[in-house]
Structure 1
Amino acid sequence: MTYAYKLIDSPVGQLKLVAKGECLAAILWEHDKPDRVRLGEMSEANELAVLVETARQLHEYFAGTRQAFDLPLDFHGTEFQKQVWRALLTIPFGQTRSYSEIAQQIGNVNAVRAVGAANGRNPISIVAPCHRVIGASGELTGFAGGLANKMLLLSLEAGQTSLEAAADHAQRRAPERGAAQAVKDDAPAKPAHRQPSRGTQGSLFGS
């Protein structure tokens, strides 16, 4: 099946929304590495319902009026990767988890580095919040969208009054150092102080 895509502008750069059938299959960054998420042939489909709805919910998220996404998702990867990506969907808005906490959650405490690798291959950025996974010491570590964007998303979720304030905070706290940085620690990180969102996350996992 051919993938369909829609490009949207956002505060974290241009995003490429990708659908397979009636499900969201990927959200790719403007400067994403071509081989990070492997997808098939694509055709532009700006009016496809799932892509239009994804764009609407992302706009609400960036505006600070949405804390949870409600979209049909179609993840394609190995069974281990899908376990990690499912775990990402359980991290509440405004909170973070360490790589070791994700490894414990999926029942494989020795797979910390493998969790980091799967996290880096997460195809549905933002909606499956890989930006909420940080190093055990609180270090941001690597991020496909860039560390400045990771800090911006975390700052936005931490209760900044505006996206402009979050962006300014990100510039002061996390200058861009590139997306590739090794996972250094595996001790549990302290969760953020925000209470979990009560929103739900719809998902459909493909093979």
Structure 2
Amino acid sequence: MTYAYKLMDSPVGQLKLVANGERLAAILWEHDKPNRVRLGELIEANDRPVLIETERQLNEYFAGTRHEFDLPLTFQGTDFQKQVWAALLTIPFGQTRSYSEIATQIGNVNAVRAVGAANGKNPISIVAPCHRVIGASGDLTGFAGGLANKMLLLSLEAGQTSFEAEADGQTDMFALEQRATVKTQVKSEAQTKPARHAPSRGTQASLFGN
């Protein structure tokens, strides 16, 4: 199977947008591990409509004007991985979930480590927001795009940083201190938020066939 890709520059590094037919199959990081997401042969196709639309929506997200994505998705993985990735799509903008909460949501409370492994294999970064999954204590934990980028994305969603300012070279110590507060806020949220019912999976979850 041949996949089409388009490269885009972003505030979190160069991203590789990958399509399978007319659906988005992957968003890969600039320094992604080669075997983290297994794909077939890749050909560059800058004119593929779904990739152009993905870039447009990502730019809106980085500009702070988009909180939800509306893209046709296709995920390749095991049934368990697809369950985890479907759960990622239900995490609202500006909120976080722990690995144990995701395990509970998919009905497998003992699968916390497996959830972590599946989260790390998430092929469609940012759109399927694995950056919103944190440790039970509020620690940011590992992230394929790097912890600095994870903190940046959470800062953006908390309204605490401006990627436009950073693009102009205006990042200062105050901005860096703002990012650092995100980790403290995330910990506080993890420690104080009440138990919740599993959220509805939304329309995109139907793409997983479960």
TM class by shorter-chain length?
A: 0.7 to 0.9
Structure-2 change in CA distance of 1:189 and 1:45 (3 Å): farther
Once residues 22 and 191 of structure 2 are traced to their aligned partners in structure 1, the CA distance between those partners, rounded to angstroms, is: 37
Tell me how far 1:24 sits from its aligned partner: 0.1
Counterpart of 2:5 in 1: which secondary structure? strand
Is the counterpart of residue 205 in structure 1 residue 208 in structure 2?
yes
Name the structure 2 match of 1:169: 176
Structure-2 change in CA distance of 1:190 and 1:60 (3 Å): farther
Name the structure 1 match of 2:48: 48
**Structure with max Cα Rg:** 2
Structure 1 vs Structure 2 CA RMSD: 2.2
User: Normalising to structure 2: TM-score of the pair?
Assistant: 0.82
Tell me how far 1:202 sits from its aligned partner: 3.6
Name the structure 1 match of 2:94: 94
Q: Aligned partner of 1:25: which letter?
A: A
Mapped contact 2:152–2:161 kept (Cα < 8 A): no
Unmatched 5+ stretches in structure 1: 175-187, 192-199
User: Normalising to structure 1: TM-score of the pair?
Assistant: 0.83
Q: Percent identity?
A: 79
Name the structure 1 match of 2:158: 158
Tell me how far 1:159 sits from its aligned partner: 1.3
Once residues 156 and 202 of structure 1 are traced to their aligned partners in structure 2, the CA distance between those partners, rounded to angstroms, is: 23
Q: Aligned partner of 2:208: which letter?
A: F
Structure-2 change in CA distance of 1:201 and 1:140 (3 Å): farther
Structure-2 change in CA distance of 1:5 and 1:190 (3 Å): farther
Once residues 190 and 116 of structure 1 are traced to their aligned partners in structure 2, the CA distance between those partners, rounded to angstroms, is: 22
Unmatched 5+ stretches in structure 2: 182-189, 194-201
Tell me how far 1:162 sits from its aligned partner: 1.7
Counterpart of 1:50 in 2: which secondary structure? helix
Name the structure 1 match of 2:15: 15
Tell me how far 1:172 sits from its aligned partner: 5.8
Name the structure 2 match of 1:144: 144
Q: Which has the higher contact order (CA 8 A, sep 6+)?
A: 1
**Larger proportion of helix:** 2
Name the structure 2 match of 1:79: 79
Is the counterpart of residue 62 in structure 1 residue 65 in structure 2?
no
Once residues 4 and 189 of structure 1 are traced to their aligned partners in structure 2, the CA distance between those partners, rounded to angstroms, is: 43
Tell me how far 1:171 sits from its aligned partner: 8.7
Tell me how far 1:190 sits from its aligned partner: 4.8
Name the structure 2 match of 1:180: none
Once residues 4 and 63 of structure 2 are traced to their aligned partners in structure 1, the CA distance between those partners, rounded to angstroms, is: 26
Aligned length: 185
Counterpart of 2:141 in 1: which secondary structure? coil
Once residues 190 and 34 of structure 1 are traced to their aligned partners in structure 2, the CA distance between those partners, rounded to angstroms, is: 38
Name the structure 1 match of 2:186: none
Q: For each residue in 1:95-151, what CA deviation from the matched residue of structure 2 results, as whole angstroms up to 9, or x when unmatched? A: 000000000000000000000000000000000000000001110000000000000
Give every structure 1 segment of 4 or more consecutive aligned residues whose post-TM-superposition deviation is greater than 6 Å. Answer: none
